[in-house]
Structure 1
Amino acid sequence: MQRVTSADVALRAGVSRATVSYVLNETPGQSISPATRTRVLAAAASLGYAPSAAARTLRTGRSDVVLCLLPDWPIGNEVGNLLGNLSTELARAGMTFVVHPGSEADRPAGEIWKAITPAAVITFAGFSDGELGAMRAAGVAVVVALLGGPGREGCELQMPQQLVGRHQAQHLRGTGHSRLGYAYPDDERLRIFADPRLAGVRASTPEDPVVETVPLDPDRAAGAVRRWRAVGVTGVCAYNDEVALAVLAGARLLGVAVPGELAVVGVDDIPAARLAVPPLTTVTTDQRAIAAHLAAGVLAAISGKPEPLPPGGDAIRVISRASA
């Protein structure tokens, strides 16, 4: 089937292609009657006309696509919420948000952005200096998002993962727990989040937390609980709510009372957190605020404006329930 073009719309509406272009692109300064505008829009809708993204890029000199290169991660509740909110924020600014999950082994990042020619690229882990230079030369605004290292060109956006760990530790210490443990995930792909969260816990307690890798398996989680109890740990900061639920399951197998003998704090406030036994205390992040900040950073990078200020500390908070 042949693609519907603006010439087809013009023929259906009985106007020139220039008039079609003015109407569909909302070109200012054109004296087009409301009746003609309605006729063009109706013709485009009846034909299913979709403007060519490539042609629009040639006409405006800029793509409206924002490409997000998502690492090889399990997409959990919080990352999913962030991506959805970011898509909404960018759509309000007339941008198209495209997410490409995968790893460098699947397809190099350079091949992906060259195929799409986006206005901006968002990454969670950062680029090499060579990759940054290539994108800059191609006119792509680079936005290193969330966990990109400082000192790179472009608009650096950092989500304070360390603050998540600090909130966990401070909540436990505030409820009388001085000897803390940290439940580390057994998925290596999550280290990019787990390490800064653990660093936040370490920065908030005078004694180094006892770190145990906790799989999502009750029996193996029980082993971690047993080892924590043997060295006097009374409060556990878990990497996220799923790991915290594993700790709760392990405690139940051993007959360890939560929070009487072991307090547990998770991260993310997933729906299952409030259904846990006991309901899980957790740290949550305002993903709408983070997404709005990130979208503002993308638009600033594209237009060459200064980087926006990050969200305030109230974007991260503890939801206190019965587990701690």
Structure 2
Amino acid sequence: MDRPRRPTSADVAARAGVSRSTVSYVLSGSTQHSFPQATRDRVLLAASELGYTPHAAARALRRGTSGVVLLVLADVPIGANLGSMLAEMTAAVAATGRSLVTWTGGVGPTLRETLAHLDPLVVLTMAPLVPAEADAVGNAGIPLVAMPYAGSATQAVGPVAPSRGELQVGALQLQHLAAHGHRRVAVLTVAEPRLALFAHGRVEGVRRAALDLGLDQPPVLALGDPDDAAVEAVAQALTGWVRGPAPVTALCCYNDLYAAVALAAAARCGLRVPQDLSVAGIDDDAMGRFLDPPLTTIRFDFRDTARAVVEQVAAVLEGAPPPPPGPSSQVLRVVERASVGPPPVR
């Protein structure tokens, strides 16, 4: 004889004449939504008549006891840099007996739907949330924590402001070049819209650091894919930048891949690196050490970042306010190789 089918929340919803989400909220005792008492009574009666008991795992998820930590990601390409950060974050959260789950804006279910489904212990964000996303987290009553690199957890209405970390990595590039004596620096950035979250902050960081140091504002060249067309575009720009009474003597590049484009363009122009032109990258990509010359770059210390995030999450789960993010300079390191030197004597 077949075993009788176990009643589901859909059965309760049909019997009570309500939606499955209403059944979920009423039976979990959630205060996220307010329902008329008559609606609550119908749901409770239907569940009792059907002998319905919520599944233990689902009940745990609704009550936030599943150990889920939700990380909100921007819709950006996941390269080696971001992949390394996610790996360190996953390991650090797992060491506390919890699971890291990611949600990407603009892809799949909305953040509000994801929160209703998972009911995570805490929401982490690596970039400020837009108002609608911040409202979804706030209305769900879930703690929101900004990663140390992000700065603020929420974003005011208007264009997305650069994160504190991106500002600082751009500033560190410029400061390192200035420490070698460079006074006139140019910036190579990217035109890819999905990378604007990072690119804008890095360029702005260079600009602000130049202003603080009393240097000229840098010319900026936005590039498409890192291909031969990009090499030619940089070569043409260099032809103009290195001439005149105030020639450019160094480049701040969006990342190591675009720094490699810069090295190829310099060679095409007959410029020696670093004797005629210094080049600095970002990411400490493994290929950078094999370029000619080996690339000076900025490295992110993701292990320190992950450790700081776990400390923030622990504070929140213990009922304390999250500690303020530490200085993001603690997770940035200059890796000195051979592509940066003093400016040429003219």
Q: TM-score range by the shorter chain?
A: 0.7 to 0.9
The 8 Å contact of residues 289 and 311 in structure 1, kept in 2 or not, is answered as no
**Secondary structure of 1:160's partner?**
helix
**How far, CA to CA, are the matches of 1:298 and 1:288 in structure 2?**
15
Q: Which residue in 1 is equivalent to 2:189? A: 184
Residue number in structure 2 paired with 1:168: 173
2:78 aligned with 1:75, yes or no?
yes
Asked if 1:62 corresponds to 2:65, the answer is: yes
Q: What TM-score do you get using the length of structure 1 for normalisation?
A: 0.74
**3-state SS in 1 of match to 2:279:** strand
Once residues 149 and 93 of structure 1 are traced to their aligned partners in structure 2, the CA distance between those partners, rounded to angstroms, is 25
Match of 1:30 in 2: none
Offset from partner CA, 1:106-159 (integer Å, 9 cap, x none): 442222222222122223333344543443343322223343646679xxxx75
Report the CA distance shift for 1:212/1:128 in structure 2 as closer, same or farther (over 3 A).
closer
**Hey, what's the Cα distance between the residues in 2 that align with 1:294 and 1:227?**
45
TM-aligned CA deviation for residue 252 of structure 1: 1.6
Greater Cα shift, 195-204 or 87-96: 195-204
- Per-residue CA deviation, residues 18-39 of structure 1 (Å, 9 max, x unaligned), is xxxxxxxxxxxxxxxxxxxxxx
Instruction: For 1:270 and 1:161, locate their aligned partners in 2 and report how far apart those are by CA, in whole Å.
Output: 17
Separation in 2, partners of 1:234, 1:56:
60
Contact 2:123 / 2:145 at 8 angstroms: preserved in 1?
Answer: yes
- Are 2:144 and 2:153, in contact at CA under 8 Å, matched by a contact in 1? no
Q: Tell me the distance in 1 between the aligned counterparts of 2:277 and 2:195.
A: 25
Tell me which amino acid in the other structure corresponds to 2:68. Answer: V
- Write the mapping of 1:8-157 to structure 2, written as runs, cut at 5 A: 53-57=57-61, 62-101=65-104, 103-104=105-106, 106-145=108-147, 146-147=149-150, 149=152
Match of 2:232 among 195, 219, 226: 219
Partner in structure 2 of residue 315 of structure 1? 331
C-alpha RMSD of matched pairs (Å):
2.6
Count how many residue pairs are aligned between Structure 1 and Structure 2: 269
Q: Secondary structure at the match of 1:283?
A: strand
Secondary structure in 2 matching 1:260: coil
Q: CA deviation at 1:264?
A: 0.4
Could you say if the C-alpha distance between residues 186 and 178 of structure 1 is closer, same or farther in structure 2, counting changes exceeding 3 Å?
same
Give yes or no for the alignment of 1:241 onto 2:256.
yes
Q: Secondary structure at the match of 2:97?
A: coil
CA distance in 2, matches of 1:52, 1:244: 53
Distance between the aligned counterparts of 2:318 and 2:155, measured in 1? 18
Query: Which residue is 1:22 aligned to?
Result: none
Identify if the C-alpha distance between structure 1 residues 228 and 52 changes in structure 2 by more than 3 Å, giving closer, same or farther. Answer: farther
Q: Any stretches of 5+ residues in structure 2 without a counterpart? A: 4-54, 157-162, 341-346
Partner of residue 28, structure 2:
none
Q: Shift of the alpha carbon at 1:225?
A: 2.6
TM (normalized to structure 2)?
A: 0.70
Aligned to 1:270: 285
CA contact (8 A) 1:87 1:97 kept: yes
Determine the C-alpha separation between the residues in 1 that align with 2:138 and 2:152. 18
The question of whether the paired residues in 1 share the 8 Å contact of 2:67 and 2:98 is answered with yes
- The residue number in structure 1 matching 2:269 is 254
Tell me how far apart the structure 2 counterparts of residues 128 and 178 of structure 1 sit (CA, whole Å). Answer: 37
Native 8 Å contact 2:71 2:123 kept in 1: yes
Identity of aligned residues (%): 33
Query: CA contact under 8 A between 1:225 and 1:247: conserved in structure 2?
Result: no
Give structure 1 stretches of 5+ with no counterpart. Answer: 3-50
Q: CA deviation at 1:196?
A: 1.9
Aligned partners of 1:147 and 1:192 also within 8 Å = no
Q: Distance in 2 between matches of 1:53 and 1:162?
A: 42
**C-alpha separation in 1, matches of 2:324 and 2:150:** 16
CA contact under 8 A between 2:103 and 2:111: conserved in structure 1?
Answer: no
Match of 1:208, SS state, is coil
1:188 Cα deviation from its structure 2 partner = 1.7
Q: Give the aligned partner of residue 217 of structure 2.
A: 208
